[in-house]
Amino acid sequence: METRTKQTYRTRLYSFIKNILVECPNCAGKALVDTGDNSIFQPMALNIRVVCGNCGYNKIIERRSNRSRQLIIGAAIDPYFHLPLWLKIEVGSDHLLWAYNMEHLEFLAAHVGAKLRERNGFRYEVKSIGAKLPRWMTAKNNRQEVLKAIGRLKEK
């Protein structure tokens, strides 16, 4: 595990909204929301689909305006279909740790595990992941518990 991290105050949550792992609404197994090359900042979302490899569930958003949709970002659901995320786990008695995909989970592990989180002269970014993570997750006394939970999610 790295003892320093330099990217967490430059990266935003939007960077991880692709290939989102969710719970299948049909069988509660692992499903994938494939966003393709779509961005939440595009005016139109094209062919975003959720597919379950376990039961074959398949649903597509063929073409819809992002302006008329409610995209929920920063919660334990995917922003397009509002399905519960696959990568979520209770930490302690009252905290929920979640990630959109494995890349997001690795990013969280690097940030939480780092003893030094550098901003490198960049102004304080209030929309960056480093600035948005809750205090319980980044606190030194919770580090090992959070890293263990991340490890369990990686095995899921």
The rounded distance, in Å, linking the Cα atoms of 55 and 28 is 9
- DSSP letter, residue 83: P
Alpha helix ranges (H) inside the chain: 102-113, 129-132, 135-138, 143-155
- Exposure pattern of 40-78 as b/e (b: 16+ CB <10 Å)? eeeeebeebbbebeeeeeebebeeeebeeeeeeeeeebb
Name the band, by pLDDT with cuts 50, 70 and 90, for residue 6. low
20-54: pLDDT as tens digits: 999 999 999 999 999 877 666 555 566 789 999 99
The rounded distance, in Å, linking the Cα atoms of 21 and 30 is 7
Q: What are the sequence ranges of the domains in the chain?
A: 4-155
The rounded distance, in Å, linking the Cα atoms of 55 and 123 is 47
Q: By percentage, how much of the chain surpasses pLDDT 70?
A: 73
Q: What is this structure's pTM?
A: 0.83
pLDDT of residue 120: 64
pLDDT of residue 74 exceeding 90: no
Q: Mean per-residue pLDDT for 6-19? A: 76
Q: Which segments within the chain are labelled E, that is strand?
A: 4-5, 20-23, 30-34, 44-52, 58-65, 87-91, 95-99, 116-117
pLDDT of residue 73: 75
Q: Mean per-residue pLDDT for 53-58? A: 96
Distances (CA, A) of 22 to 47, 49, 53, 67, 82: 17, 12, 12, 23, 9
Q: Mean per-residue pLDDT for 62-68? A: 57
The rounded distance, in Å, linking the Cα atoms of 101 and 105 is 6
Look at 46-50, 61-65, 147-151 and tell me which has the smallest mean pLDDT.
61-65
Q: By percentage, how much of the chain surpasses pLDDT 90?
A: 44
